[in-house]
Chain A
């Protein structure tokens, strides 16, 4: 058994222990969906970080920087700044006026059935794209990390899927939260250690480190080339690069505040004040992590080198290979298990938010008109839907296979969240005139626009050379829309849809309840405890 596998097994054992512990303490609806609202500020802050920093952050950004230098670092910036939107605008009102899901806030003033149906659709769409990206990534990665142990892609996907189902079905939000906390601590520990090793490699001389970054050696067509990796433009090239970058930035900074699996975390704390503290904790942790991606990414670029990474697993292996180079096989195994933990914590968070939305928004409030027919039904339905969500994710990931290009899917999830969810949340909280028609048209426009623009973008449409076998584009034709990131068009369209829907209709009931929502959101009066 390889060292990596042993570490994976240890992590799995710890998380199953957590799940068993949490299952003993989970009974009742608030307990299952919101950990009894007893998570403290710092715990929730770490859990948000654990929920948020996906494999795309840890392995993806390290790889992007290792291959494209500065342009990859742009992701790091956007992922953090996004939390200001969460902190200043969304977290506290959401906690004050909602119960279990994002849709609770919308349903406050608006007609529950159409709004909750639409919100459930939106939640499931965002979550699906995020999940597919994670699962396909998990499969390829785990198979690569454990290739000595004979675990292939399909088994890796099944394993990850089965674990996330167990966490959520048995341990609910409490188990999910603690798996995320353990993961965040491991991730921060591993990243710090790796960063220190990178610095030690340069004898703790930052000048030498940056000299190496600005003089990365490589060979192009047999000739040695020196590239300044600190200069922008290696990834985003003219003519559309700059606009693409802007579009991505917009999706990142506005999308986080609309991500269902992040928003549900604010229901796990006792009050809005603690929700606020938890975002600040999250900002401190996430910020530190993304600054450290400097060492991970540029370290891999300078110490390991693009050539070696390409022939040993590709971009996503940059951080693990850097660990192997600096700390040997044991450290490689440790960083690999950190990556594994990272994926598990994120997919568990996605699973619980998807199943909460299906059960609370769709089953109880749409199908059953707001009442639980029998006690405990909402939790039962949520557990079943977690099982279904998990099984479907495994199936989709296996059907798509390891060669399917999923890189754009996380960015797409952010764009979807920004275009569909954010306008509805913002208008609901701040615009008295806002109404049901506006919310439904806004969310529908946001979803449809984002999907349409991604389908006609270079992520889906491109002409591949016949020799390319892995990761071929779905539509073999020239892209109609030039940008890979649809946010710059789809986000304004989402807002316009919500605006037009509102002013073209009239709903006195929604306006009449604005004062109530406003007082609740701003004072915490009557908030769920």
Chain B
């Protein structure tokens, strides 16, 4: 992302060097910008003032909404999943109970883990659309384009 100044594309054969001091607000010359990821917060300041964004109600609401879904969902699937080795390991006789014909509880519980994974993934996919909309809203309010430098 360009700093304060205008960045010119270097033309073939143009060997103009970067001039200006390190303390300049708008360095002169044609130095290529650092990729977004490697910029320090100070350099990237025109993309957003992070602390201000973090303090907005919209952003807090987004983080809260995510936590409200992700935390219980994670606890649920971890408990549900760990229940399988626990029950199989410590209550093998219960798990050997034949439920449907000769199919036992152990196999059905294992199969239900697949179903659980599919359903939870689907629920998250639906829920995440709301998160996307909230994030878009935050970005739109800042009046800048999403995405950094290529």
Separation of A476 and B44 alpha carbons in the complex (Å): 59
A247 to chain B, nearest CB (A): 9
CB atoms of A242 and B90 under 8 A apart: yes
B2 to chain A, nearest CB (A): 14
Separation of A73 and B47 alpha carbons in the complex (Å): 50
Point out the residues of chain A lying under 8 angstroms from B90, CB to CB: 242
Point out the residues of chain A lying under 8 angstroms from B128, CB to CB: 273, 276
A173 to chain B, nearest CB (A): 17
Interface residues on A, range: 35 or more
Point out the residues of chain B lying under 8 angstroms from A290, CB to CB: 114
CB atoms of A525 and B96 under 8 A apart: no
Kindly state whether residue B139 has any CB partner on chain A within 8 Å: yes
Point out the residues of chain B lying under 8 angstroms from A231, CB to CB: 92, 96, 104, 106
B54 to chain A, nearest CB (A): 4
Point out the residues of chain B lying under 8 angstroms from A232, CB to CB: 88-89, 92, 95-96, 106
B83 to chain A, nearest CB (A): 10
CB atoms of A284 and B103 under 8 A apart: no
Kindly state whether residue A529 has any CB partner on chain B within 8 Å: yes
Point out the residues of chain A lying under 8 angstroms from B148, CB to CB: 526-529
Within 8 Å by CB of A241, from B86, B89, B107, B117, lies B89
Point out the residues of chain B lying under 8 angstroms from A242, CB to CB: 85-86, 88-90
CB atoms of B85 and A81 under 8 A apart: no
CB atoms of B73 and A88 under 8 A apart: yes
Beta-carbon contacts under 8 Å, A249-304 to B:
249-250, 253, 273, 276-277, 279-280, 283-284, 287, 290-291
Within 8 Å by CB of A276, from B70, B86, B125, B135, lies B125
Q: B interface, by DSSP: helix, strand, loop or mixed?
A: helix
Kindly state whether residue A518 has any CB partner on chain B within 8 Å: yes
Kindly state whether residue B35 has any CB partner on chain A within 8 Å: yes
Kindly report which residue of chain B lies nearest to residue A270, judged by CB atoms: B147
Separation of A290 and B110 alpha carbons in the complex (Å): 11
Kindly state whether residue B74 has any CB partner on chain A within 8 Å: yes
CB atoms of B139 and A370 under 8 A apart: no
CB atoms of B47 and A287 under 8 A apart: no
Within 8 Å by CB of B81, from A81, A104, A515, lies A81
CB atoms of B114 and A519 under 8 A apart: no
Kindly report which residue of chain B lies nearest to residue A370, judged by CB atoms: B38
Separation of A467 and B90 alpha carbons in the complex (Å): 35
Point out the residues of chain A lying under 8 angstroms from B8, CB to CB: none
Kindly state whether residue A368 has any CB partner on chain B within 8 Å: no
Kindly report which residue of chain A lies nearest to residue B63, judged by CB atoms: A522
Separation of A74 and B96 alpha carbons in the complex (Å): 15
Kindly state whether residue B26 has any CB partner on chain A within 8 Å: no
CB atoms of A526 and B48 under 8 A apart: yes
* Most chain A CB atoms below 10 A, which of B62, B101, B135: B135
Known: A88-B70, A526-B148. Contact between A519 and B104, CB under 8 A?
Answer: no
Kindly state whether residue B18 has any CB partner on chain A within 8 Å: no
Point out the residues of chain A lying under 8 angstroms from B132, CB to CB: 273
Beta-carbon contacts under 8 Å, B8-62 to A:
35-38, 41, 44, 47-48, 50-51, 53-54, 59, 62
Point out the residues of chain B lying under 8 angstroms from A230, CB to CB: 102-104, 106-107
Kindly state whether residue A492 has any CB partner on chain B within 8 Å: no
CB atoms of B51 and A515 under 8 A apart: yes
From A123-131, A145-153, A207-215, A342-350, give the one contacting chain B. A207-215
CB atoms of B101 and A248 under 8 A apart: no
A207 to chain B, nearest CB (A): 6
* Most chain B CB atoms below 10 A, which of A74, A104, A249, A526: A526
28 contacts between A and B (CB under 8 A): A74-B84, A77-B84, A80-B114, A84-B74, A87-B124, A88-B70, A88-B74, A99-B37, A230-B103, A230-B106, A230-B107, A231-B106, A283-B117, A283-B121, A291-B111, A370-B38, A515-B53, A516-B41, A516-B54, A518-B63, A523-B53, A524-B135, A524-B147, A525-B47, A525-B48, A525-B146, A526-B147, A528-B35
Supplied contacts A246-B89, A370-B38, 10 more A-B pairs, CB within 8 Å: A210-B101, A214-B102, A232-B106, A522-B135, A524-B147, A525-B48, A526-B36, A527-B36, A528-B148, A529-B147
